[in-house]
Amino acid sequence: MSQIIFGPITSRRFGQSLGIDLSPSIKQCNFDCLYCELKGAKTVDKAKDAPSFLEVLDALKTALSKHQNLDVITLTANGEPTLYPELDALVSAILKIENRPKLLILSNGSTIYDEAIQTTLSKIDIVKLSLDCVSPKCFKKLDRAHKGIEIEQIIEGMQQFRARYQGTLVIEILVVEGLNDTEEEFRALNAVLHDINPDRIDVSTIDRPPAYEVKGVSIERLVELSNLLEDLHVNIAYKKNYISQKRYFSEEEIYELLKRRPQSFEDIALCFDEQSLQNLNYLVEKNALHVKNIAGVNFYKVT
């Protein structure tokens, strides 16, 4: 497999994924996030020495001929994929491939205010953007953006993009202890996310060695913070080997819980004991609840 293509890998959020690294030789990013799994590096606003889109396309077609049963082709990078100079040409070419899996991009959201980037991303089946903070102080401390990038323009860009985008929009929040793990920050996020109206929100924490000395939060804290995101499809993305304390929920409690906020299958498995799962299934059988799939993640919702 070339340096450009990696996988397939099993993504806990998007299924079987074949990855495309648009900056395979060096980290090129306009953020230097404290939690990044890549080594810290000086921020840039343009990607250099990247493979041509024809080179990427050829490598992708070769890989697709070898791998079947894929859920997504994932555009990513050692850094930020929207800095790739031929992104629009590459996306347009990939979309012409017959019987292709869905196309996904994993972006930090930093360039979404750019109309040209919005136009390119609007062609993609699934767009994942990051929004770790909405307060300027938290944003500057946690995401350490390139000079000139402000959280206000990112939020406005996300709202504009949502208004024109017909695909599946996923927003990711990565929670870091002592930085964006407060109720105040999450209540502010809740207000902004209702304005953006994404299809799904993934809330996660650090699960790989970070570039800098920061720590993640407990799964229990993720659950508490996620509950502040009301009437939104929130998926708690956590490692499978985490063990949490499960509790009992009556049918009425389950109904009221899901009426307030849909819950993913993984959230349910994390929090519900065996009797609660039986109560849940009974509500499904009664058609009080139904299941909705959003970009590969199933949610229970009130009918």
Are the C-beta atoms of residues 279 and 248 closer than 8 Å to each other? no
Mean pLDDT of 225-251: 80
> How is the chain split among helix, strand and coil, in percent rounded to 5?
35, 20, 45
Same domain, residue pair 71 and 215: yes
Q: What is the pTM of this model?
A: 0.85
DSSP 51: P
pLDDT of res. 1: 39
Are the C-beta atoms of residues 222 and 283 closer than 8 Å to each other? no
Domain of 272 in residue numbering reads as 245-303
Same domain, residue pair 252 and 238: no
Q: What is the CATH number of the domain that holds 290?
A: 1.10.10
What's the one-letter identity of residue 266? E
For the ranges 35-49, 59-73, 157-171, the lowest mean pLDDT is seen at: 35-49
Residue 145: CA count within 13 A, CB half-sphere: 21
Same domain, residue pair 9 and 122: yes
Same domain, residue pair 210 and 295: no
- DSSP collapsed to 3 states, 77-116: CCECHHHCCCHHHHHHHHHCCCCCCEEEEEECCCCCCCHH
On the question of pLDDT at 258 being above 70, the answer is: yes
Q: What is the CATH number of the domain that holds 165?
A: 3.20.20.70
On the question of pLDDT at 76 being above 90, the answer is: yes
Same domain, residue pair 105 and 230: yes
Same domain, residue pair 238 and 253: no
On the question of pLDDT at 9 being above 80, the answer is: yes
Same domain, residue pair 217 and 261: no
For the ranges 14-18, 158-162, 282-286, 292-296, the lowest mean pLDDT is seen at: 292-296
On the question of pLDDT at 299 being above 90, the answer is: no
Cα angle, residue 216 at apex, residues 213 and 219 outer, rounded to 5°: 165
pLDDT of res. 2: 54
Distances (CA, A) of 123 to 31, 246, 254, 288, 294: 24, 41, 38, 36, 18
Mean pLDDT of 165-193: 97
pLDDT in tens, 38-66: 877 888 998 998 999 999 999 999 999 98
DSSP 212: S
Q: Of 243, 268, 294, at which residue does a domain stop?
A: 243
**pLDDT band at residue 295 using 50, 70 and 90 as cut-offs:** confident
Q: Of 191, 212, 243, at which residue does a domain stop?
A: 243
Same domain, residue pair 36 and 160: yes
Same domain, residue pair 48 and 180: yes
Q: Of 217, 243, 269, at which residue does a domain stop?
A: 243
Same domain, residue pair 88 and 110: yes
Are the C-beta atoms of residues 50 and 22 closer than 8 Å to each other? yes
**pLDDT band at residue 243 using 50, 70 and 90 as cut-offs:** low
pLDDT averaged over every residue in the chain:
91
On the question of pLDDT at 112 being above 90, the answer is: yes
On the question of pLDDT at 227 being above 80, the answer is: yes
pLDDT of res. 242: 53
Which has more pLDDT, 202 or 210? 202
Same domain, residue pair 298 and 171: no
Distances (CA, A) of 182 to 46, 139, 190, 221, 270: 33, 14, 12, 10, 22
**pLDDT band at residue 244 using 50, 70 and 90 as cut-offs:** low
On the question of pLDDT at 271 being above 80, the answer is: no
Q: Tokens for 248, please give them.
A: 């009992």
Q: Tell me the percentage of the chain whose pLDDT exceeds 90.
A: 64
Question: Which distant-in-sequence residues (6+ apart) come within 8 Å of 26 by Cβ?
Answer: 49, 78
pLDDT of res. 98: 92
Number of domains in the chain: 2
Same domain, residue pair 44 and 111: yes
